[in-house]
Chain A
Amino acid sequence: MTGIVSYGGYIPALRLDRKLIADAWGRNSIGGERSMANSDEDSITMSVEAAANCLNDRKREEIEGFFFASTTAPYKEKMNSTLIATVLDLEREVVTADFGNSLRAGTAMLKAALDSVKSGSTRNFLVAAADSRLGYPKSDQEQTFGDGAAAVLVGDTDPVATFEGSYSINNEMIDVWRNPEDKFVKTWEGRFILDEGYTAHMKEVVSGILKKYDLKPADISKVILPAPDIRTHGKLVKSLGFDPKTQVQDPLISNVGYCGTAQPLMMLTAALEEANPGDILLLAAYGDGADAMIFKVTDQIGKSMNRCKMSALIENKMMFPSYARFLSFRDILEAQPGEPFRLFPSATVSWRERKSSLRCHASRCRKCGCMTFPVQRVCYNCRSKDDYDEVRVSDRAGKVFTFTRDNLGGRSDDPVIIQTVAELEGGLRFYGIMTDCEPDTVELNMPVELTFRRIYEGAGFHNYFWKLRPVRRGGAN
């Protein structure tokens, strides 16, 4: 029985009050706040977060495929999904592919994974979508867009929601686009693209799938309709005949924002977190046409899973105080350069060190059990040579052993680095930088967890590594 086996979302801790954006331009705020990726986050790191949340304590060696969808993938050429699959410590035999170029990439990817499992080609398929799109400074989109990610594990055994069917239509129209050199999302005239693009096709795909499977709007427990803004969403719901009070999944616009390709999976995740056995979920998403899917929630949904819910991710936040620094974090403004780096990256070194720096493997000595990160060929304790097992430690909880707030090491727009030594479960020491944290709140013994982040730019490629942060994902480890 093919369906969704697990799911998990991710919303960056940082939020920007839309009033800060509006005030900078003398405009009105659309209200609420938007999520924003930290200076060390991008669509790859957010996908890792969502996927780790989704995978939870599942055996990662059982995953046979991984797809990644985004319109803001850090690499245009070079597969992003191989990087994420490696960071997730999946097997090397895993099937990988990137989906992109359209806001429909998230649902297209999900459909492909469902079809792969349904066909018997694979048994477990993980998909993750993330986006961090840029609206022009001052634009409505700058306020409505948010950054986020979600991951879904598709499988053939004990799904929490079975895949009941899908329906798709294409729409060739220049409505929302970016040329290769564009930083910001371009749109044609608002009324045209909403009426003839989004609304027309969402109506058509929802009506179409209901008709295809002989369902009425009243049969649907929750309709999941990502939308570019609240007003458009409200109008669509009304025109389709769903009850806005009981049947409609929150589009997450007011306090998170419109997170591009990730939005359908983020809303699906939020819907599953509140679903009951027997519920029928209808997911439809627009982007150069529309995809619709129907899922039926099973009694597996009640099985408790240690994941961090969307509601908790929304609640757990840090208000970001500066629009100027937001622009700098997104490379829209160039702030004064900080201290230069002494260590230059090398693709060769990064490749050689991938087991520790990407897979987060520590060595555990077979003779004395001493664990060290990164992998040490000669045991620190008993000096046995090449006699160790590699152990993934990215999912281990830890506590701050010591720290300092370093004003020299950071970026000039994000200057304080909390240099931290943490003791992880098993006595392992991890040295890293604390992120997503108010510097003055760090204390010894504070519970922390590992998060995969960008470290710095250099040599023309992105450099990622693990950081520490105050526990957020929590039990999801």
Chain B
Amino acid sequence: MGNIKDKVAIVGMGCSKFGERWDASLEDLAIESAYEAYEDAGVGPEDIEACWVGQVSAPVAGIGATSIAEALKLRDIPVIRNENWCTTAHIALIEACIAVASGLYDTVMAIGVEKLKDTGYPGLGTGRGMSPVLEARRTAPGSFGLIAKRYFETYGLSNEEGKETLAKIAVKNHDNGSLCPKAHFHNKITLEKALNAPIIAWPLGLFDCCGNSDGSACAIITRADRARDFRPDPVYMKGYGISMDSLLPHLRPGFDWLHFDALIKSSHKAYEMAGIKNPREELDVAEVHDCFTITELAIYENFGFSPRGKAKEDIDSGFFARGGGLPVNIDGGLKCFGHPIGASGLRMTYEIYKQLQGKADLPERQVKNPRLGLSHTFGGPPQISAVAILGNEKG
């Protein structure tokens, strides 16, 4: 397999306000993030040679990319849609990077956009997947909730200890979200509040579940050797990894619900491409897929941030908090920034991009002198994982 390390750079990014955007359509959200990205990169629509769109649930299936191209008046260029559960925007970004690395294009766009709040109901609805019978009553919290009890049992946590450990992740992400103007939620919560919240899918309570939001994020990508023509502080693609487990975890013989191959392999491929040996030490900031608190915990261990069974110690010591050894989800994560499915991967990358440039919107949430950051989404029941590692220096 080849390597795109330092061949491609992001020279502009935009991110819409996330939340219940009753005022904004799918198209409005795309315009909001794309025009911020144009301005940031100093380009216009005429400079874009191809566009990759991350979009899951446009009002009618299968039309997402054309809706966005039409909204942005992208003319005479390829517009390609990616749809891969929650990794949608990451894979759109990675595809765009690969296209530039191939030498075919100089400047391209990757944009993720999702409008969830036009459905008339909260949440993503019941029944997920392909089979109307087998997966009829599957829900997102139900699927991820299945991880929790196995984790508690394997590592000897009582239900109470387990729930408290998860709640601490929620408290951290709410604390981070409170400082993030574009996030969906800005409320700080106490451990007690998290523990006493209504149960959604036991042991996951309300605050263990991410926000159901509208939003969009966009990146302008170019060849690394041209990046400084656009701006003095481009952010370079250091490595990526995408991995898919070949059977729904629920059905997979022998699966322990702890060792997610998709997480392990996607992160390791990205580390290898980026030349990272010890992610816990070498990464300065990470945005990972906290659709539910238990997912964030599983990622700590599958990504090698924490040793197996030891995530609790790192959570208790604040290792992943703002100012800790490896701040995770410093913008509030999916928990507070919100999770418009097809936009999230680019939103997380937006945060890493800003952090690596030292341009976090509020100084108190700027990580000190970061060099390497990771963004990640984990999609499906869960089954597919995508990782991007970015750096602010070549080499």
A binding-site residues for B, Cβ under 8 Å:
338-346, 349-350, 353, 356-357, 370-374, 376, 380-381, 401-410, 417, 419, 421, 427-431, 433, 444, 455-456, 458, 463-465
Contacts and interface: CB of A to CB of B under 8 A. Distances in A.
Interface in B243-266: 246-248, 250-255, 257
B309 interface: no
B25 interface: no
A409 B133 contact: no
Given A345-B132, A417-B137, 18 more contacts: A338-B126, A339-B121, A339-B123, A342-B127, A343-B132, A349-B132, A404-B145, A405-B145, A406-B145, A406-B201, A408-B200, A410-B137, A419-B137, A419-B143, A430-B251, A431-B248, A433-B137, A463-B136
B132 A346 contact: yes
B251 A373 contact: yes
B126 A339 contact: yes
Contacts of A370: 253
B129 A419 contact: no
A429 B133 contact: no
24 contacts: A339-B126, A339-B139, A340-B119, A340-B125, A342-B126, A342-B127, A343-B128, A346-B132, A372-B247, A376-B247, A380-B253, A405-B201, A406-B200, A407-B199, A407-B200, A408-B201, A419-B138, A427-B254, A429-B250, A429-B251, A430-B251, A431-B250, A455-B137, A456-B137
Contacts of A464: 133
B146 interface: yes
B250 A380 contact: no
Nearest to B127: A343
B278 interface: no
Which 8 pairs show the lowest CB-CB distances between chains A and B?
A: A404-B145, A431-B250, A406-B142, A343-B127, A405-B202, A419-B142, A409-B137, A343-B132
Given A343-B127, A343-B135, A455-B133, A419 B201 contact: yes
A447 B143 CA distance: 21
B126 A404 contact: no
Nearest to B255: A429
Contacts of B149: 402-404, 444
Contacts of A350: 132-133
Interface string B323-347: 0000000000000000000000000
Contacts of A433: 137
Contacts of A431: 134, 248, 250-251
Contacts of B150: 401-402, 444
Best-surrounded residue of A417, A429, A444, A456 (most CB of chain B within 10 A): A429
A68 B203 CA distance: 43
Contacts of A339: 121, 123, 125-126, 139
B204 A404 contact: yes
B356 interface: no
A407 B209 CA distance: 13
B142 A455 contact: no
B199 A405 contact: yes
B145 A409 contact: no
A431 B201 CA distance: 16
A455 B145 contact: no
Nearest to B294: A404
B156 to A, nearest CB: 13
A153 B3 CA distance: 68
A405 B136 CA distance: 16
Binding site secondary structure of chain B:
loop
A456 B135 CA distance: 11
B204 A343 contact: no
Contacts of B246: 380
B257 to A, nearest CB: 5
B218 to A, nearest CB: 27
B136 to A, nearest CB: 5
Contacts of A458: 132
Interface string B176-204: 00000000000000000000001111111
B141 interface: yes
A456 B149 CA distance: 27
B210 to A, nearest CB: 14
A463 B201 CA distance: 24
B143 A342 contact: no
Contacts of A353: 131, 133
B153 interface: yes
A371 B253 contact: yes
Interface string B197-217: 011111110000000000000
A374 to B, nearest CB: 6
Best-surrounded residue of B121, B125, B133, B198 (most CB of chain A within 10 A): B133
A403 B143 CA distance: 9
Given A372-B247, A380-B253, A429-B251, A357 B133 contact: yes
Contacts of B199: 405, 407
B148 interface: yes
A373 B134 CA distance: 10
B125 A342 contact: yes
A53 to B, nearest CB: 24
Nearest to B151: A402
Nearest to A383: B246
Interface in B91-141: 119, 121, 123-129, 131-139, 141
B250 A421 contact: yes
A429 B200 contact: no
Interface in B216-271: 246-248, 250-255, 257
Best-surrounded residue of A340, A345, A406, A419 (most CB of chain B within 10 A): A406
B127 A341 contact: yes
Best-surrounded residue of A343, A372, A376, A456 (most CB of chain B within 10 A): A343
Given A372-B253, A381-B253, A431-B248, A340 B121 contact: yes
Contacts of B203: 404
A409 to B, nearest CB: 4
Contacts of B253: 370-372, 380-381, 427-429
A85 to B, nearest CB: 19
Contacts of A380: 246-247, 252-253
Contact of B126 (A340, A357, A403, A421): A340
Contacts of A465: 133-134, 136
A403 B144 CA distance: 10
Contacts of B250: 421, 429, 431
Contacts of A356: 134
Given A405-B199, A417-B137, A344 B132 contact: yes
Contact of A429 (B123, B137, B143, B252): B252
B136 A455 contact: yes
A52 B150 CA distance: 32
B332 to A, nearest CB: 23
Contact of A408 (B126, B153, B248): B126
A234 B200 CA distance: 52
A410 B283 CA distance: 42
A345 B133 contact: yes
Nearest to A356: B134
A374 B134 contact: yes
Nearest to A433: B137
Contacts of B126: 338-342, 408-409
